[in-house]
Each structure stands twice: as C-alpha cells, then as structure tokens.
Amino acid sequence: MTPRKRLRAPLAILTVTGLALTAACTSGGADDGGGEDGGDGDDALSSLSIMAPYFAAVPPEEDDLIDQALSELTGVDLSVQWVPNTAYGERTNVVLAGDDIPDVMVIQGKTQAFVQTAEAGGFWDLTDYLRSGDYPNLVSENPDVEEASGVNGRVFGIYRARDVIRHCIILRADWLANLGLEQPQTTDELFEVARAFTEDDPDGNGQDDTYGFINPAWPGSIGSNSPYDALELWHGAGNLWTDEGGELVPSFTTDEWMEAVLYERDLVQNGYTNPDYATMDPATWNEPFVNGQGGIIIDVQSRAPQLVDLFREQDPENFESYVALVGQPEGPNGTFAMPTSGYSGFLAIPRSSVETEEQLEQVLTVLNDLTSTEAQILLNNGIEGDNFTVVDDYAEFNPDRQDFTDQVTGAWAQLGMNVAGYNAYSTRPETPFDEGLAQLRLDLQAEDLENAVFNPGASLVSDTYMSSGTQLDTLISDARIQFIAGQIDEAGLQDVIDRWHSQGGDQVIAEMNELYSELG
C-alpha cells in the first residue's frame, strides 16, 4: 500500500483524576475464552467490550458503519461503551469498583490509584507479550515512549501514540525579511532576533510598539512543556530529570538550568518579551502575533497552521508571507530537542474480566488487528467512498457527512494506538503552501528526533512524588517566575531549591534512584 502523506492531528492530552480500582471477581466479558478453569483453548473469542471517552457532540450508535467494519476486520463483535470525556474519570472509578468491568479500557493517565492497582495485579502486565513479536502491529517504533508509558519498567497498557517532536520556534517571517535577518539556528541567534524585534522597528511604522517573545501565564508547573522548559532543555539542563554518572538528579539543580533561567531573566529584564508574561491568558496567545505586537512563539508545531489560517482571513492575498517555522536550536552546551511524552494514555486490560492467558492472547490479537493500516484508516478517517475520498494520497472529506466524520475523529480515534507507526490519511491541504508547511513539520520532526532528550525517570513512580509532587513542582515553577521577574535573586532562588530538598525532594530523589537502579 502506498505510504500515506500524513501530519498527525493533535488530540487533547488528558489526565484521569481519582482513579480507584477494585479487582472484581467475575468471569468478565471476554466471552469466557476458556472459562473459569482456564479451558482447553477451543473457545474462540467472539465479542470484546471496550470503554472509551468521546469528544464528539454525540457518541457513535451501536453497530454504526465503523463498528461494523471493525467487527468484520477483527472477526469479533466489538461493543464500545462510550463515555463523555468530561465524565470519564468519574465513570472509570465507578466501573472498576463494580462487577461489570469491560475487557479493555482506555486509561488516560498514570494516577496513584492506577499505579498501585497495576502493580498489585489488577491489570495484565503486557511487557513480555508486546516485545515477543507475536503482535507485530503492537511492537513500538519508539521504545523510549513505550518505556515512558510504563510503570517502573513494566508495561500495563498499549499506549496511544502521539507526535514525539512538537516543539518549535514560530516567527514573524515578514519581520525577519524587513530587518534582513536569517532564521535563528542557535539560542544566541534567537536572543538577537528577540532584541531586534523589540528595538529595531520590525514593522517599519517608526514607533516603539513591538517585542520579541510572546509568553502566556503557563497553566502547568515545571516540566510541563512550557516555553521556559524548552529553553532550559535547549541549554542542556535535561528533561525534568537528568542522568549524571548513573544517578538521577532534578534538572533544576544543574548548572545548565541556572544558565537557562539567567537567559530567560535577561529576555524579560531587557523588555524582549510581552510585559504581561506572568498573567497573559493562554487562550489569547495568537493575538499579539497576528496583531503585530510580538514576533516569536515557542510552542507546538500545530500552532503554525493556526496562525497561517488567521493571516489567510486577514490578508488572503499575502497570507503566505507572515509565518516562519524553525526547528529546535543549538544551545551553548550542544543540540537538544524537547520531546513530548509521545503518548496520550493507553489501552489496559483488567484481569478481573480477562482472566486467563488464553483470553489475553485473543484480546491482544484483536488489538493487533485494530492497529493495522486498514483499521487506522477506519478509526481516523472513516469510510472511504462515504465520508471521504482519497485524492493524491490525501483524505478529502465530504461536507454532507460532517456529522459522521466528527464522530470518527471525536470518538473512534480514541481507540487508535498506532504504536508501530501512523498510516491513516491526512487531510488534503488547501494550497501548495499548506502542503509545504505540513511537509516542513514532518521534516523538522524527523531531524529533531535525532536529538530528543527523553526524561530518564518517566516510567518511575516515587511514592513521595505521587503524594507531594504537585506541591514540589509548583514550588520551583513559582520561584522561576519570581527570579525571571527580578523579585528574587540567585540566592533567593537557591533558598527555594533548598526548601524543595528539605520538604520531600530528597526523599523523591532517593526513591527515584532506588527504582532507577533496579531497571538495570
């Protein structure tokens, strides 16, 4: 089959809250696949129940066109319990505390309750099964992501793959052209562009009314992929944790991190960023860029086509001239790229419903089929010839079937794992410029992946961090903003870091390193 031209559509990265699991003692819904005594393996799986969230206005109907096609493809009658995403965490708690647990569940995050239950045997440990090669569509193309999705070196779910590289630098291309500047390739060059966008009248109106960086008040704490986190990683501080001689240390305790926050402070103190960086609503992030106030955004690549569309509305004749997209720059200590976690939750298999290894192997066979190219197209695009057609290896959607397409992308896509690669069609670009921008994004993703710095502690679960991590992280992120703003000096910042150590941080470090040493 012809390789798909694709740019994976971003899906919300979600978190389950308050997940409380109770292993119910039932035979489950895997159609008895061998019975309570384990059986003789003669009973083939004929149905499979799955619980998943949906974002569409209404969920798919039972036995809709996608359901029928997937059931035919897998040879199993699929029964999906669709739950509104807004109620998914609560519904998960209720279901797993009851006695009618589905065979497969979308789990949206590694909460403390999920981790404890998984390690206690409430979910199947899939590590050896996924790495056996018996299910080729479930063999991860990125072992770093699979490891990060696990718990202390073991894998309890098939992760839902997302783009590993998304961070980039987005600039006003017309301002660069006006000032005769090249696209920045290093953090020093980026600083100079920020200065020029602030001081050198990039819009040519003769007024001092522009600045370089546009930074919103970031809703997450340290290590949540903020522009500050990206700058710190580009300086070589590591990704939340860094390995120093076989020992994990928090990135904010490194010399490189201090070098980066000094860089950030200089940007702010020199006026090279928006004055309201500490309070700006993230929902308004695009406005200063489009309105000609600021010229640099560090964020995910998908923001670039959003900005292009806004300029298309504002200036349809020249919309192509406003947005430049640059990959992750070389820093003073090397070239490092900021990866995402690479996944958004995972599909886990409760042992209370899938009781035997024979049943498990049948379920994994179905999930392997659901990750085939044919299934990916059904889950992400829909029915070829119905709601979309293929034009030049792109999907062109039928506007008369938009409601159905919305159910595909807003519900069925939640079952997409794609761990061995994404093979569905991307949407047909509107213009050659849009096609070129999509290809540039893919090229930058491939280039930056070679320098991706993954969090070496991503799969490790410290008990102290699970109970106190939010407070500890916020302590550092608040101090970072205070330092950048000039409200505290280096000694004051170090005092906060010392407080982090004394208020539980040292215990987190000890627990993380004990687990790290066990990974081998």
Q: Does 312 share its domain with 394? A: no
Q: Are 300 and 333 within one domain?
A: yes
Q: Which residues pair with 461 in a beta bridge?
A: none
Determine the pLDDT at residue 392.
Answer: 93
pLDDT at 42: 52
Are residues 181 and 153 located together in one domain of the fold? no
Same domain, 332 and 412: no
Alpha-carbon distance 168 to 158, whole Å?
28
CB distance 226 to 220 below 8 Å = yes
Q: Is the pLDDT of residue 13 over 80?
A: no
CA torsion through residues 133, 136, 139, 141, sign: positive
Does any domain span residue 351? yes
Longest alpha-carbon distance in the chain? 83
pTM (2 d.p.): 0.87
Rounded mean pLDDT, 8-24: 31
Structure tokens of 406?
């919305």
Nearest CA among 494, 499, 493 for reference residue 471: 499
| Helix (H) / strand (E) containing 15 | none
Q: What is the DSSP letter of 78?
A: E
- Residue 21: pLDDT band with limits 50, 70, 90: very low
pLDDT of residue 112: 80
Report the Cα–Cα distance between both ends of the chain, in Å, rounded.
Answer: 40
Three-state DSSP at 165 gives strand
Q: Are residues 227 and 310 in the same domain?
A: yes
Distance of alpha carbon 315 from alpha carbon 91, whole angstroms: 47
- 327's tokens: 């990959």
Are residues 198 and 314 located together in one domain of the fold? yes
- Give, as one character, the DSSP assignment of residue 354: S
Q: Which of 92-96, 387-391, 430-434 has the lowest mean pLDDT?
A: 92-96
Asked if residue 457 belongs to a domain, the reply is: no
Q: How many domains does the chain have?
A: 2
Q: Pick from 428, 447, 477: which residue ends a domain?
A: 428
Q: What CATH number does the domain containing 367 carry?
A: 3.40.190.10
Helix (H, G, I), strand (E, B) or coil at 53: strand
In angstroms, the CA 128 to CA 110 distance is 20
b/e per residue, 32-53, with b = 16+ CB within 10 A?
Answer: bbbeeeeeeeebebeebbbbbb
Q: Which residue segment(s) compose the domain that 59 sits in? A: 47-162+342-428
In a domain, 499, yes or no: no
pLDDT digits (tens, 9 = 90+) for 362-404: 999 999 999 999 999 999 999 999 999 999 999 999 999 999 9
Same domain? For 252 and 387 the reply is: no
Look at the block and give the residue holding tokens 């941080």.
Answer: 505
Per-residue pLDDT tens for 434-492?
Answer: 999 999 999 999 999 999 999 999 999 999 999 999 999 999 999 999 999 999 999 99
Find how far residue 258's CA is from the centre of its chain: 27
Residue with tokens 């960023």: 273
